[in-house]
Structure 1
Amino acid sequence: MNWKTDSELIPLSWFKEMRISSPVVFNSEKNTWDVYKYEDVKKIFADHEHYSSKGTESAMEPINSSILRQDPPKHRQLRMLVSQAFTPRAIESLAPKIESIAQQLCDQAEVTGEMDALLDYASPLPIIVIVEMLGIPSVDRDRFKEWSDSLVGNDGERYFQCQKEMSDYFSDIMNRRRLDPQDDLISNLVHAKVEGEQLSDLEIIGFCILLLVAGNETTTNLITSALLCLDSDREARKSLIEEPSMIPQAIEEVLRYCSPVQTMIRIVKKTTVLRGQTLSPGQMVNLWIGSANHDGEHFDTPEKFDIHRNPNPHLAFGHGIHFCLGSQLARLESKIAIQTLLSRFPDYARDRTHTLERLDSWMMFGVNRLPLVLTK
C-alpha cells in the first residue's frame, strides 16, 4: 500500500516488532499491560474469569453502564434486550433507506465533481441511520458527530464533558418518550423489561452513547479505509466493479488490514500468568486488535491487502460474548456505500495534493479527511 508509512498511519512495523520481542509487556508508568499477538488477544476476549470488561472510570459514567462494559450475567440480560433491534430481519429492512441515503450523498457530490469521502459521505451516512433508529431530530446530527468524535479522541476532559452533555440530552428525550412513545429505539428501551426489571436511566443512556459511537465511528472509518485501499489497489477495484458480489469479502479484508477499532481494554480480575508474565488484579490490559489482525501465525502475508483472502478470521469486531452487536449493520452500510460509489464514480481518485493524516485517537484508526476527485 503506497498511501502510508507504517509510523504515520498504521504502525505495522511496530506491531510486528512487539509480537516478536515483547508480545506481553508492562508499562510501569501507567500500570497497564499491552498484548499484541492474535492468540492472546482472542483468548483474553473470551476469558471472563480472569478479565473484566468493566471500565476504570467512575461507575456513574454512562458508557460504563452499557453492554460494552458489563460482565455476565448483567451483560447477557442487557444484550438479550437490545439485540432485538439488531436481528437480521431488522437490519436487512434498513437496506432501501441506506441505499437512498448513499445515492443522495452521491447526487450532492456529482454537482461539484469532488467530495471529501469522510465529511461528505462516510460520516453522514451512518449518522443519519443511527439518528433515525434512535428517534433523534435530524437537526441534531452535527451535535452527534461532534460528541462521537470526542468520545474516541485523546482529549480526556472533553471525553467526560460530552458524556455529561449527552446524558442531559438523552434524559430529556427519555422523559418525553415515557409520556409519548414513538416508533423508535429509545421508546422501546424506556418501556422494555429485562427479566421483570426495567432498564435504569443510566443503562439506557449508556446504550445510546455506545450505539452512537459504535454505529458511527466504526462504520465511518471502515468506509473511508475501504475507499483508500481501493484507490491504491486498482486491480481490486476493477474486480469489485466487475463482480459486486465480492464486495462483502473485500470489506472483511479492510476490517482486518485497517481495523477501525485498534484496541480494546480489559481489567485483570484474578492473578494470571500470560507468556511468563504475571498480571495482577486491577491492572488494565490493552488488547491490540490492530496487531492481532496482522499476526503472521494466523494470516499468510499479513502485510498484503488481499480482497480474495479466505478464510479471514479477523478480530475487528471482537470475539465471544462481546462480539460487536452492530457488526451486521456496519457491514451492510459499508457494502452499500462502496457499491454505490463504485457504480457512480468508478474512476474516483484520491486528491494527492492533500496529505493524509490519522485521526487523533489512540483507539480508532481512520484518516481525518479524504478528498476525492470524481469522474464517471
Structure 2
Amino acid sequence: MAFRFDPYDPAFDADPFPAYKVLRDEHPCFYSEEAGMWVLSRYDDILAALSNWRTYSSAKGNLIDELPGRAGSTLGSSDPPRHDRLRALIQSAMTKRALDHVIEPARASCHKHLAALRDQSVFDFVGDYGSKMTVDLLFYLFNLPRADAEVVRDNAVLMVQTDAKTRQKTEAHLAAFRWMADYAENLVQERKKNPGDDLLSGFITAEIDGEKLLDKEVQLTVTTLIMAGIESLSGFLGMFAYNLANEHDARRAVSADHGLIPDAMEESLRFNTSAQRFKRCLQVDTELHGQTMKAGDFVMLAYGSANRDERMFENPDSYDVARRPKRHLGFGGGVHACIGSALARVATEVIFSEFLKAVPEFTRVDDVLPWVPSSNFRSPQKLRLARG
C-alpha cells in the first residue's frame, strides 16, 4: 500500500511519530496529496529551509491553512526586509522590563486558579488551569478588559483550528478571525487616544529611526499575538503537563527539584512540541533527495518530526530532562524564530513551579484524549489529571 501523509486525520495527531519516522527514513522529501504540498521531515533539511528565506519564503503565509489578510503582513508571514523592520519595532516594545514585570502577576494568577482546584481530586489541566493562566497573562500584558476574557479566548481557540473533513477553515473559523481583527482594531484606536504602560501601547509608540508601526501592522500583530498568546501557549502548557503525566520518573524528578523545570521544558519542546508544522512557498525550483520541487510549490516544515530525528538527537523517542536539547525547533528557527519565546519560557517556569508545589504527583485519567483539530498545532483539548 502506498504511503500517505494526512495532517488532517484526527488519528494522526493521536500519535504522529510513526508516520514522521517513515517520512524521515523513506520519504524525506514527500508530496502529500492530502495537504497539497511537499513535506520536509529531517532536522537538517528543515533547519536549512528556515535559514534560507530567499528560497523558502513566508510571504504567502506560514499557516498550513492561512487566514485571510495575514500573508505578507505579519511577522511570521513576511520576508526581509519588511520582516526585519516589523521584528525590530515589535522587539523594541517587548523589552526585558515586560518579562520582569510578568513574573509576580503570573504567580498571583497561579495561586488564584490553584486555590479553586484545591478540593478537586480530578481536574482538567487545560480548561481549569493552563488556558486560564494564558488568558490572565495576555490580558495583563495588553491591559485588556477582564469582561472580554471568555469571548476573546473562544475566538482565539477557533482561529487556530481547521475542519478535518473539509481540510480547510470553515465559516466559523473565519468569523472568529474577523471578530478578532475587529476587536484588535478597536483596541488600537482606543489605546492611541488613551495610551498606557502596556504592551499594546508599546507597539503603537515603538519607534526606530523615526519609523513606527502602521495601524494595520499593529492590528495584525495584536491579532496574531492574542491567538498565539492564548492558544499556542496554552497548547504548550498542556503538552508539558501531558509529557510529565506520561513520564513518571521525569515528573518525580522535576517535582522534587524545581530547578529542573527549565531543562524539562526544553525537552518537552523537543519531544512533544505543540508547534508541529508550518509552511513556506518555494521561490525557485529546488532539488532535494531526488525530488524536484517547483517554484510556487508550498512546503510543509514538520518541526515535530525534526525534533525526533535520530540524525540529530540521540535516543530521540526518550524523554530525558537531563538532555538540554539547545538546538530543538520547538520555537522554530532562522529569521522566524518565535519572538515570544523568552516570555513563554519565563511564564512557563512560573506556572509549573507553582503547579508542582500544589500538585506534585498526578496521573492521566483518560487513555484517549481529544486533540485540537489543527493542521499546524498539536495539543490536547482536555487533559484530566488525578492527584496522587
Is it true that 1:93 corresponds to 2:98 in the alignment?
no
Contact 2:75/2:221, CA 8 A, preserved across alignment:
yes
Aligned to 1:12: 17
* Structure 1: stretches of 5+ with no match in the other structure: none
2:368 is the counterpart of 1:359: no
Asked if the contact 2:239/2:268 (under 8 Å) is kept, the reply is yes
CA distance in 1, matches of 2:224, 2:73: 10
1:341 pairs with one of 355, 360, 378: 355
Given the alignment of the two structures, is residue 247 of structure 1 paired with residue 252 of structure 2, yes or no?
no
Distance 1:88 1:269 in 2: 36
Instruction: Give 4+ residue runs of structure 1 displaced > 4 Å after superposition.
Output: 5-8, 28-31, 56-60
SS of aligned partner of 1:248:
helix
Give the counterpart letter for 2:376 in structure 1.
Answer: M
| Gaps in structure 2 of 5+ consecutive residues | 1-9, 164-168
Give distance in 1, aligned partners of 2:174 and 2:215. 18
- Structure 2 residue matching 1:373: 3-state secondary structure: strand
Using the alignment, how far apart are the partners of 1:201 and 1:168 within structure 2? 13
Q: Residue in 2 aligned with 1:164?
A: 178
- Is the 2:267–2:325 contact (alpha carbons within 8 Å) kept by the matching residues of 1? no
Give the structure-1-normalised TM-score. 0.92
Match of 1:112, SS?
A: coil
Map Cα deviations across residues 311-361 of structure 1 (whole Å, 9 max, x no partner). 442101011111111111111222122211111111223224x63122111
How do 1:150-299 and structure 2 match up within 5 A? 150-155=158-163, 156-157=169-170, 158-299=172-313
Give the structure 1 partner of residue 78 of structure 2.
70
Which secondary structure state, in structure 1, belongs to the residue aligned with residue 281 of structure 2?
Answer: strand
Report the counterpart of residue 29 of structure 2 in structure 1. 24
Tell me which moved more, 150-159 or 49-58.
49-58
1:89 offset after TM fit, Å? 3.8
Q: Which amino acid aligns with 1:108?
A: A
Maintained 8 Å contact 1:359/1:366: yes
- Judge conservation of contact 2:278–2:376 (CA < 8 Å) in 1: yes
1:373, 1:131 → 2: CA distance? 29
Q: CA deviation at 1:163?
A: 2.1
> How far 1:46 sits from its partner (Å)?
0.8
Change (3 A) 1:253 1:176: same
User: Over the residues paired in the alignment, what is the CA RMSD in angstroms?
Assistant: 2.2
Q: Decide whether the 8 Å contact of 2:72 with 2:79 is kept in 1.
A: no
> If the length of structure 2 is used for normalisation, what is the TM-score?
0.89
> Is the CA contact 1:147–1:162 (under 8 Å) kept in the aligned structure 2?
yes
Could you tell me which amino acid in structure 1 is paired with residue 108 of structure 2? S
* Paired residue type of 2:109: I
Distance 1:55 1:137 in 2: 33
SS of 2:260's equivalent in the other structure is helix
2:76 match: secondary structure: helix
3-state SS of the aligned residue for 2:112? helix
> What percentage of aligned pairs have identical amino acids?
27
